[in-house]
Chains A and B, each alone.
Chain A
Amino acid sequence: MGDFIKHPFVDMPDRNPEQVIPNDQLVFTSEEKKQIQTWVSHYPTADGAVMRALWLAQEKFSFLPPEVIKLVAAEIGIPYANAYGVATFYTQYFKEKKGKHVLDVCTCFSCQLCGGYDMLHYIENKLGVHKGETTKDGLFTIQEAECLGACGSAPMLQITNGPFVHNLNKDKVDALLDALREGKVPAFTSVTLPQDEDEMGGNRRTDVSSVESYIVPPISETVS
């Protein structure tokens, strides 16, 4: 988005893209169909289930090319155009093939002030690709993300729409990338804030064991 202010051009989507996923793979298993129908039954109208169904499809196919969006729309019985509109609205739905791990580095206000861009550029240099691009080995895609709601532990990043990595610094990034290369995705981490230290043993969530204590956020090297 930062770049978008300097170069505000919206691209046309490819209106007649080649099919990526062959027809024989473009099917849901009966369990998946059943799951989707269960979601459909949870809502007054079928289109309520579109987000969960798209999510399931993304987990299955790793991304959402038009033919998959079409498949999802047909499965829950809503118009293809509506499903496509939803899929393009959310950045967490990947419309093109991404790396195995997508690193969403937050550069919104809080993270920016605490060094979000430092971290983004450090990762870009380390992996040798720019944001929006995927490394040649297909392991990592770097993306610049808007606020992910973890300002208290800025700067931070998110791994493939999943766990957050808080209080980033260069050592932590190094360790993270090494771990990801070995296939170890860090577990969900909860960050406790000073005012919560006394509550529930410092962790407001009961479902996690992993707790990281509050640290004073760093100050950006480049943004002042």
Chain B
Amino acid sequence: MPNITVDNETLEFDGRPRLLQLCLETGVDLPHFCYHPAMSAPANCRQCLVEVGTPQINRETGKPNLDENGQPIIQFMPKLQTSCSMDASDGMVVRTHKSSELVKRAQKDNLEFLLINHPLDCPICDQAGHCPLQNQTYKHGPEGSRFEFRKVSKPKQIDLGPRVVLDGERCINCTRCIRFTDEISESHQLTIIERGVRNYPMTPPGVEFDEPYSMNVIDICPVGALTSKDSRFRARTWEMSKTASISTVNARGSNCYYWVKDNKIVEITPRTNMDVNEYWLADEDRLDYRIFNDNRPLGPTISGADVNWDAAYKAVADCLKGAKGDRVQFLGSAFATVEDNYLLSKLATAVGASTPMYLTHTEAGRGDTWLRTDDRTPNSQGCERLGFQPANRSALRSLIQSGGLDVLYVLEDDPVASGLCSAEDLAGVKVVLHYYNSTNQTLPAADVAIPAATAVETVGTLVNDQGHAQRLRPAKSIAGVNRTLSMEIGKCRADRHGTPFDKWYDESNLINCQPGWVSIPRIASDLNIEMNYKGPRNIMAELSSANDAFAGATYEAMGEFGVRLSEIGVTA
């Protein structure tokens, strides 16, 4: 296998990787700004300079010349090379800042140049704390500024488009954002204008930077030049905790981080998963987090009256106890996790009802060929794989209107808002509703309403439109103590921010709700139905062995990046 030598260590590689990429993948931390693995390398930031040499070959023998120790003589290139634009080749010898004073000096001086016109006001910059320029200046940069003149002032606080704000003078002209619009999203809405010290990214006249993926430029910006109009200056990065989870806005389930401050979601940023969303996240995935923060329920209610959890569970059990199985309809949910839907189907079987159906939520035209889908739910594939059928809306509506139902059990959905039936139609039906937000329009018709934990408060599995099963992790805790949730938060959040045993524990904005894998077994126990699980981890373990459609989808296997399930009906 071909190999290169970096700082006297040998690295093996396949194919022709770019030198910088190879170094980064093998743990050699080379500083860089303009390089991004998904895009072309213009080598314009000059920060990844290294010394590169190859063995000196004797032209007559074709063999390397050897020194007195029998080692090949290495011929270094006369000048430093940008490792991002150079392909690794067999026998290459590289000296980085760890072994070369020259490289060290080059990186330091280059940073000094980059910082000449960059404002040195990190304390008031939104990027501070997660800024590659700041980090690399601390690591490799000069100790102070020698620049005694006025810095060039460029336009600040410019709305490039409805979601992205530009601070021109922070820009170091790495052109990552330009290349993103040119090569990745292909909207071609950005360009670098002007020249020399005057240049900065801008849209051409009459064009707004408005595309469904525009906010990705904020993440790839290595300085604070591009910020999110929505979340800029709302929280410093060290005040937030981040949790690796997945987005639930559409059926793709793009991998993301939920940033939490005071138990509220503040921001959603992409998480790299080469099987699903690569490095990117659609704008809609980032902006729909308010459903996790606002209009959340206060607690369980029976016909609108506040009750405690035990009373609510008992009321649900009473509803189901008196009803005949064929006059009970369970509605699963494509918003809920596979685990919750699975428990619901077990409950349905136990009370003699038919397999739950689920409501589809599609909006034609919302999808594209990339990360957005027409399907506005995160788990319709999971419902399909559990054997749930999409509800035949007109049939179900006439069944409700004709009085053919005694009980309608709705898991984490909103039949009224989705147009299944009106609240008046449900007057004669006992409605059990697990719901996320108090704006749920079925709520006035609900006999028993149970606040459900949203995607950022629960543990579970969602299956995306491509059949990729991925884990939801709790980004914040809920009111009350749940040992399983606490343990999962402790595992998922590096800061252990959410456990009650931590000094950072924050009780503000906790929602009084329960995940389905807590409430459904409680209801089952009130009905004397056997449903004993230690937690969603065990539920999924059982399901993955019992149901071929979920074969292999254990929590251990899904890990951070999920597993691709086999096609429905095909056993692995």
Contacts and interface: CB of A to CB of B under 8 A. Distances in A.
Contact of B191 (A15, A81, A90): A81
B538 interface: no
Nearest to A8: B152
A14 B203 CA distance: 11
Given A81-B189, A85-B192, A66 B204 contact: yes
Interface string A4-21: 110011111111110000
Given A10-B155, A10-B194, A89-B195, A80 B207 contact: yes
A13 B193 contact: yes
A79 interface: yes
A81 B198 CA distance: 17
A10 B206 contact: no
A189 interface: no
A15 B155 contact: no
B237 to A, nearest CB: 29
B321 interface: no
Most buried by A among B154, B158, B200, B205: B205
Contact of B198 (A5, A10, A66): A10
A38 interface: no
B151 interface: yes
B547 interface: no
B205 A10 contact: no
A13 B195 contact: no
Contacts of B154: 9-10
B150 A88 contact: no
Nearest to B153: A9
Contacts of B149: 5
B153 A81 contact: no
B182 interface: yes
Interface in A180-222: none
Interface string A46-71: 00000000000000000000100110
Interface string B371-398: 0000000000000000000000000000
Contact of B188 (A5, A79, A88, A90): A79
A117 interface: no
B191 A16 contact: no
A10 B200 contact: yes
Contacts of A84: 191, 193, 204-205
Interface in A1-42: 4-5, 8-17
Contact of B153 (A10, A15, A88): A10
A45 interface: no
Nearest to B208: A15
Given A12-B158, A13-B202, A81-B189, A89 B153 contact: no
Interface residues of B, number: 29
Nearest to B152: A8
B168 interface: yes
B206 A81 contact: no
Most buried by A among B192, B193, B204: B204
B190 interface: yes
Contact of B194 (A15, A16, A79, A88): A88
Interface string B141-172: 00000000111111100100000000010000
Contact of B203 (A8, A15, A88, A90): A15
Contact of B155 (A12, A17, A69): A12
Contacts of B207: 80-81
Contacts of B181: 81
A81 B205 contact: no
Contacts of A12: 155, 158
A15 B149 CA distance: 30
B205 A13 contact: yes
B168 A80 contact: no
Most buried by B among A8, A9, A80, A81: A81
Contacts of B197: 4, 8, 10
Nearest to B186: A79
Nearest to A90: B195
A118 B220 CA distance: 48
A161 interface: no
Contacts of B205: 13-17, 66, 84
Contacts of A17: 205-206
Contact of A81 (B152, B190, B195, B199): B190
A136 B159 CA distance: 36
Contacts of A4: 197-198
Contacts of B158: 12
Contacts of B191: 81-82, 84-85
Contacts of B153: 8-10
A211 B193 CA distance: 39
A13 B207 CA distance: 12
B194 A89 contact: yes
B217 to A, nearest CB: 13
Contacts of B200: 10
Contacts of A91: 195
Interface in B168-182: 168, 181-182
A11 B200 CA distance: 11
B211 to A, nearest CB: 12
A80 B194 contact: no
A89 B197 CA distance: 11
Nearest to A81: B191
Nearest to B156: A12
B198 A15 contact: no
Contacts of A11: 155
A8 B235 CA distance: 32
Nearest to B190: A81
B193 A66 contact: no
B86 to A, nearest CB: 22
A23 B197 CA distance: 35
B533 to A, nearest CB: 55
Contact of A80 (B150, B151, B182, B204): B204
A65 to B, nearest CB: 9
Contacts of B204: 66, 69-70, 80-81, 84-85
B176 to A, nearest CB: 15
Contact of B193 (A14, A70, A80, A88): A88
A17 B206 CA distance: 7
Given A9-B154, A66-B204, A81-B191, 8 more contacts: A9-B152, A10-B154, A12-B155, A81-B190, A81-B203, A82-B188, A82-B191, A85-B193
Interface of B: 149-155, 158, 168, 181-182, 188-195, 197-200, 202-207
23 contacts: A5-B149, A9-B152, A9-B154, A10-B194, A10-B197, A12-B155, A12-B158, A13-B205, A15-B205, A66-B205, A70-B204, A81-B188, A81-B190, A81-B191, A81-B203, A81-B207, A82-B191, A84-B191, A84-B204, A84-B205, A85-B192, A88-B194, A89-B195
- 7 A-B pairs with least C-beta separation: A79-B188, A85-B191, A84-B204, A81-B191, A66-B205, A8-B152, A88-B193
